Amino acid sequence: MDFFIFDRMASFNPKNPYSVPMLTSSTVNSNQTENCTRIMEERNATLAMFQLIILSLTLFFGTLFNSFAIWVFCCKMKKWTETRVFMMSLLFSDCCLLFTIPFRIYATQHRWDLPRELCTTLAFAYFMNPYLSIAIITLISVDRYIAIKFPLRSRSLRSPKKAALACAIVFALLLCTRIFILLTAEKSVPSPGFCFRKISTRPLKRNLYYTVTGFYIPLPIIIFCTTEVVRFLKTKDKESVYEHECIKKSIKIMSANLIIFLVCFLPLHILNIIRFVMESLKLDCTLIKLINDYVYAAQVIGDLNCCLDSVCYYFVAKEFWESTSVLPRSNHLTPSPEQTEDTNL
C-alpha cells in the first residue's frame, strides 16, 4: 500500500484556491526511515545498566581467572598435551574478548566519539570471538569422544601437534571467512556515535550465516559427543572406588559444561534468528528495537562464557593443579594406567 502526503516542493496554482499540491510517497518514506532510526537509536537505560553490571563482572573475574590460567599454562606446565593445546587456544579466545570489554562498556554508556576505525577493528574481533570459542569447545568435545570411545585407536589419531593444527585451521577458516564476507557483503553505512550496535533494520544475511554455521552446526556435534561419552562412562565397569569417583566427577563436569554452553550461547542465537525474520518481514520498528535490546542482553550473557571457561575447563583439569604444586603427585591421586587423562577433564 502506498502512503501519500503533500509534497513541499509541489507548485500551488493561485488561480484555483482549492487546488491541492501534488502527492508523493518519497517524503513519507523518508520520514518513516528517520522515525525508525530515532527509535533504533533510543537508549534503554535499564539495558545499559544491565550491560554495565554484567560486563564489569565479566571483566573483573575473567581477568582474574584467565591471568591465573595463563601463569599456569605458560610458566608452570612443562609438557605439551592435547589438553594444554586446546586450553591455550580457548584462553587466547577469551583474552581477545576481555580486551574488547572496556570499549564495550564505554560504548554502552556514552556516544562513541573514538575513531571509527577502532570501532571497526574491535567489532571485528568481538563478533568473531564467540564462534572461535564454540569451534574450540567442539574440538574438545570431539577429542574427548575419540579418547573415551576409541582408547587404542586414539593413540594414532590424537597428539599435541594434531591438536595445534586443528586449532590453527579453525582460526584460519574463521578469520578468512569473516574477511571474505565483509569484503563481498553489501556495505552498510556506519551509524555515527554508535559502536557494537545495529541501528539499521535491514536484515543482514551474514549474521544468519554466522548463526547457522557458527552455532547450529557445532551444537549437535557437541551434544552428541557429550551424551555419548557420558553414556559410555555410566556403563563402564568400575574397578575401584577411586575410579568410580573419578568417573562420577567427570560425568558431572561434562554435564555442567554442556548446560553452561547452552545457557551462554543458545538464547543469543535463537534471538538472532527471530530478529532476522522480523527484519525480513519489515515489522514495526518498535518491535525490532525490542528484540534488538534482548539480543544485546543475550550478548553480555554469552560473554560470561570467558569466565566460566576457567571453571569448566582450566580449573577442573588434573594436570592444571599438579602443575601449580597444589596437588601432590601421590599414588592415591593418580588414576589407574587404563584411565586416560580425559576422564579427569
Digit-coded pLDDT (tens) for 161-185:
999 999 999 999 999 988 888 787 6
DSSP states of 284-323: -HHHHHHHHHHHHHHHHHHHTHHHHHIIIIITT-HHHHHH
Alpha carbon distances (Å) from 71 to 15, 64, 314: 87, 11, 12
CATH number of the domain to which 155 belongs: 1.20.1070.10
My answer on whether 203 and 269 are in the same domain is yes
Classified as helix, coil or strand, 24 is: strand
Judge contact between 81 and 308, C-beta under 8 A.
no
Measure the CA–CA gap between 43 and 46, rounded to whole angstroms. Answer: 9
Residues 202 and 220 occupy one common structural domain: yes
**What is the per-residue pLDDT for 341?**
44
- Residue 296 pLDDT > 60, yes or no? yes
Residues 16 and 115 in one domain: no
88 & 17 share domain: no
Higher pLDDT, 189 or 92: 92
Domain count, the chain: 2
DSSP for 147-205 reads HHH-TTTHHHH--HHHHHHHHHHHHHHHHHHHHHHHHHSPP-PPPTB-SS-----S--H
Rounded mean pLDDT, 246-263: 86
Q: In this prediction, what percent of the chain has a pLDDT beyond 70?
A: 79
d(CA 158, CA 153): 9
Same domain (yes/no): 13, 89: no
Looking at the structure, do residues 58 and 207 belong to the same domain, yes or no?
yes
Task: Check whether residue 218 and residue 177 sit in a common domain.
Answer: yes
Q: What is the mean pLDDT of residues 3-11?
A: 42
Backbone φ and ψ for 5, nearest 5 degrees, come out as: -135, 175
Cβ neighbourhood burial of 1 (10 Å; 0-12, 13-18, 19+): exposed
pLDDT band of residue 62 (cuts 50, 70, 90) is very high
| Beta carbons of 291 and 274 less than 8 angstroms apart | yes
- What is the per-residue pLDDT for 326? 45
User: Cα-atom radius of gyration of the chain, to the nearest Å?
Assistant: 26
Element housing 29 (H / E):
helix 26-41
Structure-model confidence comparison of residues 18 and 55, the more confident one: 55
The size of the chain, in residues, is 345
Q: State the pLDDT at residue 294.
A: 95
Q: Are residues 53 and 36 in the same domain?
A: no
Task: Give yes or no for residue 23 having a pLDDT over 80.
Answer: no
The pLDDT of residue 56 is 95
- pLDDT-derived band at 2 (thresholds 50, 70, 90) equals very low
Task: State the angle between helix axes of 82-109 and 116-149 in degrees (0 to 180), rounded to the nearest 10.
Answer: 150
Q: What is the mean pLDDT of residues 52-66?
A: 93
- Confidence band for 336, pLDDT divided at 50, 70 and 90: very low
Which of the four pLDDT bands, split at 50, 70 and 90, describes residue 16?
low
51, 34: one domain = no
Most confident residue range from 232-236, 249-253, 298-302: 298-302
314 and 196 part of one domain: yes
pLDDT value for 28: 52
User: Does the pLDDT value for residue 32 go beyond 70?
Assistant: no
What pLDDT does 31 receive?
64
Whether the per-residue pLDDT at 331 is higher than 80: the answer is no
With cell 568435545, the residue in question is 141
Three cell numbers, residue 144: 574427548
What are the cell numbers at 208?
544468519
Residue with the larger pLDDT of the pair 55 and 314: 55
Q: What pTM was estimated for this model as a whole?
A: 0.80
Which stretch of 27-31, 157-161, 199-203, 264-268 has the lowest confidence by average pLDDT? 27-31
pLDDT of residue 288 exceeding 60, the answer is yes
Region 260-277: mean pLDDT is 94
Is the same domain home to 78 and 34? no
In angstroms, the Cα distances linking 38 to 75, 199, 304 are: 52, 9, 31
Domain coverage including residue 74: 47-344
Give the number of other CB atoms < 10 A from CB of residue 339: 19
Q: b or e along 101-137 (b: 16 or more beta carbons within 10 Å of the residue's beta carbon)?
A: bebbbebbeeebeeeeeebeebbeebbbbbbbbbbbb
Distance CA 222, CA 142 (A): 7
Chain mean position to CA 273: 15
Tell whether 57 and 18 lie within a shared domain.
Answer: no
pLDDT at residue 133, rounded to an integer: 92
Q: How confident is the model at residue 34 (pLDDT cuts 50, 70, 90)?
A: confident
Nearest CA among 221, 283, 303 for reference residue 52:
303
